[in-house]
Structure 1
Amino acid sequence: MLDIAEELHRWVEQGRDVAVATVVAVGGSAPRRPGAALAVDSAGTAIGSVSGGCVEGAVYDLCQQALKDGETVLERFGYSDEDAFAVGLSCGGVIDILVTPIRADSAVRPVFAAALAAAARGEAAALARITAGPAGLLGRALLVRPGGSYEGGLGGHPELDRTAAGEARAMLDGGRTGTLEIGERGARCGQPLTLLVESSVPPPRMIVFGAIDFASALVRAGKFLGYHVTVCDARPVFTTAARFPDADEIVVAWPHRYLESTEVDGRTVLCVLTHDAKFDVPLLERALRLPVAFVGAMGSRRTHEDRAERLREIGVTELELARLHSPIGLDLGARTPEETALSIAAEIVAVRRGGSGVSLTGAHTPIHHDSRSAPAGRIGSVA
């Protein structure tokens, strides 16, 4: 749901009654991940998507029904031979959809409103909702802040809220969205509750070192992928807003000194396009020792070998060197800056998602590498 927070927040601020359908579990080749949402207001306006088109019509009808009766429902959409050309996922996947009415009289509206406001402002917050458990608790919600404070409630024992808040905060710290199970009263025993935890965190950083033409194309690719993009170069004549209008931040500084002073985390991507030993060797020495998601460097294979040898000479270990993606990018036969940016972006996605980078045609690798398996079922409600 937080993936459409900005528009949905406006709807709620305007006082509209809204029903939100959220993907809470997936199996097989499902097109969207947990947290993806479709929202419908009382006028019939819709935003978002839960399946890329496969079951949108049926989910839209569920949202309209929820607006009328005020009931939260959980529905499964799956594949079978009979369903293939009806309302189903012809790709062979299974998705569970939680439909929650957020009407003026809804008990969960204040919690949802606060979660949407935080996400729309770019603040860190996690929304935990019950997606499976005892009757009457379905859809109950808890909003958790980075410091551990929370608001709302799951409708059970106070220990349940405290335990859920702790688990949600751990997921928020990692910027993760997914499901977890806890005991009904907070202990990991007894009748379990399943929670969907959606984390809203500031966008991950991409830092592009080297103010060259290839960098301009990579900045655009990074923005398209949802990164907050910084361009850094020591040469002020090249490092300008006019050359990089799409960058969120432009820094004139020696790259290694900037990296020492700026904040990075486990989602940060570092792309070294400086292509000059006096810049990239001291920069990579530091970059390869940081807990970031990706470190890549541009250059020919000869340049890579020379750079690797220079790094070894200053004490970079083989284990640290193994983290370096160099030459950066996948083999697409790229020539232009835009094609090169695409190859780099593709490698970043492959590393992030565990992809192989090979063509899907004729391959036997899974399309969605982070999918969890779930039994395929006929269309119908989940008990």
Structure 2
Amino acid sequence: MLDIAEDLHRWCAEGRDFAVATVVTVSGSAPRQPGAALAVDAAGTAVGSVSGGCVEGAVYELCRAALESGEPVLERFGYSADDAFAVGLTCGGVIDVLVVPVRAGTPVRAVVAAAVAAAVHGETAAVVRVVSGPPGMPGRTLLVRPDGTYTGTLGGHGTALDRTAAREAAALLDAGRTATVETGSDGARCGEPVVLLVECSVPPPRLIVFGAVDFAAALVRAGRFLGHHVTVCDARPVFATPARFPGADEVVVDWPHRYLDSQSLDGRTALCVLTHDARFDVPLLERALRLPVAYVGAMGSRRTHEDRLARLRAAGLTETELARLHSPIGLDLGARTPQETALSIAAEIVAVRRGGSGVPLSRVRTPIHHDAGSMPRFLPCPVPVYGGHPNG
């Protein structure tokens, strides 16, 4: 739902009634992930998507019906082998979709309005909805803030379930994840089973590019395209200027390691070191590889990489810490230009974040859409050749 927060925020301000359909769970291959939403207002206007087109028509009608009845509904959509044109996901996956009416004057409306406002203003918050549970509970909504306070109620045994939901939401907020959680109506495993969808709204992940070089300018654009908050940092004021990096959210003139020391970073942050200079690289990487960030990559030839590793070992880094370094940076695309190199680096960041192998999908034996925790199996392929890559 929060992926269409701007539209829903406007609809709430205009006093429109609407129903919102949200992907709750995904099995197999499916084009959208949990949290993806389609909303329909009383006039029939639709925004968003739950399947990339496969089942939009059927979900649209479910929204219209839920808005009229005032009752939430949980529907499953999957592939129909008997009729290729039947309602279903032709990609072979299965999705569960929760449809909740959001009408003026209802408790759900107040919580949804607060949730979409928080998302629009870039605030950190989580929306918890009851997907399935005892009668009267499905569709109930809770807004949870980072400090554990919450608005609304999920019903059931009241505050016990709300407190449990708030704790689960806070944990997912730390990771910036959207997921389903199973508990009981009493807030423990003893009550009637309750399934919750926890959808998180967090600020954009950070991408910090160290080194104000030509490759950095292209990487800034790629990072913004992927939805990152992008910072360029370099100690040389003549190169680190907003005019050279108009796409960056901020350009900082400072020694890279000193700037890194001043930042509070989370587990979604990507750090890209493009400086090619041991004076900058080693003090920076000595700190970066000990931080709980998602990705640390460094540009340079294989000879530069080996020299860099020797310097970092001398600085006291362990082999476990050094294993976190992605160097030479990027995937083997045969990249030569700054734009191609930026694509190579961005692709590796996505692969690390999503648990991808980086090999062609034609060689992958597991589902195209898979959990980040399970790396796909793939057929043997030749050793990559990095000749001509800007790394060296």
TM range (shorter): over 0.9
Q: Which has the bigger relative contact order, CA under 8 A and spacing at least 6?
A: 1
Pairwise mapping of residues 290-329 of structure 1 onto structure 2 (< 5 A)?
290-329=291-330
Quick check: 2:353–2:372 contact (8 Å CA) kept in 1?
A: no
CA RMSD of aligned residues (A): 1.5
- Show CA shifts across 1:290-316 (max 9, x none): 111110001111111111111112222
Residue 184 (structure 2) pairs with residue 199 (structure 1): no
TM-score by length of 1: 0.95
Give the conservation status (yes or no) of the 8 Å contact 2:80–2:87. no
How far apart, CA to CA, are the structure 2 residues paired with 1:372 and 1:87? 31
The Cα of 1:87 is off from its aligned counterpart by 0.9
Query: Residue 208 of structure 1: SS of its match in structure 2?
Result: strand
What's the offset of the Cα at 1:137? 0.9
1:226 match: 227
Separation in structure 2 between the aligned mates of residue 270 and residue 172 of structure 1, nearest angstrom: 21
Name the counterpart of 1:278: 279
CA distance in structure 1 between the aligned counterparts of 2:186 and 2:319, rounded to whole angstroms: 49
Name 2:147's counterpart in structure 1.
147
SS in 2 for 1:361: helix
8 Å contact 1:26–1:372 — kept in the other structure? no
- Whole-angstrom distance in 1 between the partners of 2:188 and 2:351: 37
CA-CA distance at 1:63 after TM superposition = 1.2
Which letter does structure 2 place at the counterpart of 1:289? R
Closer, same or farther in 2 for the Cα pair 1:372/1:43, shift >3 Å? farther
| Alignment check: 8 A CA contact 1:26 1:371 kept | no
Give 1:64-213 correspondences, 5 Å limit.
64-158=64-158, 159-213=160-214
Q: Contact conserved, 2:107 with 2:152, CA < 8 A, in 1?
A: no
| Identity level (%) | 76
Cα gap change, 1:362 to 1:171, in 2 (>3 Å): closer
Moved more, 183-192 or 15-24: 183-192
Indicate how the Cα distance of structure 1 residues 37 and 372 shifts in structure 2: closer, same or farther if over 3 A, else same: farther
Tell me how many residue pairs correspond in the alignment: 373
Distance 2:271 2:236 in 1: 19
Shift of 1:371: 8.3
Query: Partner residue of 1:368?
Result: 369
In structure 2, C-alpha distance between the alignment counterparts of 1:321 and 1:160, rounded to whole Å: 43
Is 2:4–2:48's contact at 8 Å kept on the other side of the alignment? yes
State the AA in 2 paired with 1:317.
T
Note the alpha carbon deviations across 1:99-140, whole angstroms, 9 max, x for none. Answer: 111111433100000111111111011110000111221100
Q: Which runs of 4 or more aligned residues in structure 1 lie more than 2 Å from their structure 2 counterparts after TM superposition?
A: none
Q: Distance in 2 between matches of 1:365 and 1:160?
A: 37
For the residue of structure 2 that corresponds to 1:118, the secondary structure is helix
AA partner of residue 199 (structure 1): C
Name the structure 2 match of 1:377: none
Contact conserved, 2:216 with 2:274, CA < 8 A, in 1?
yes
The runs of 5 or more residues in structure 1 that have no matched partner are: 374-383
Shift of 1:190: 3.2
Q: How far apart in 2 are the matches of 1:135 and 1:372? A: 35
The residue that corresponds to 2:384 in the other structure is: none
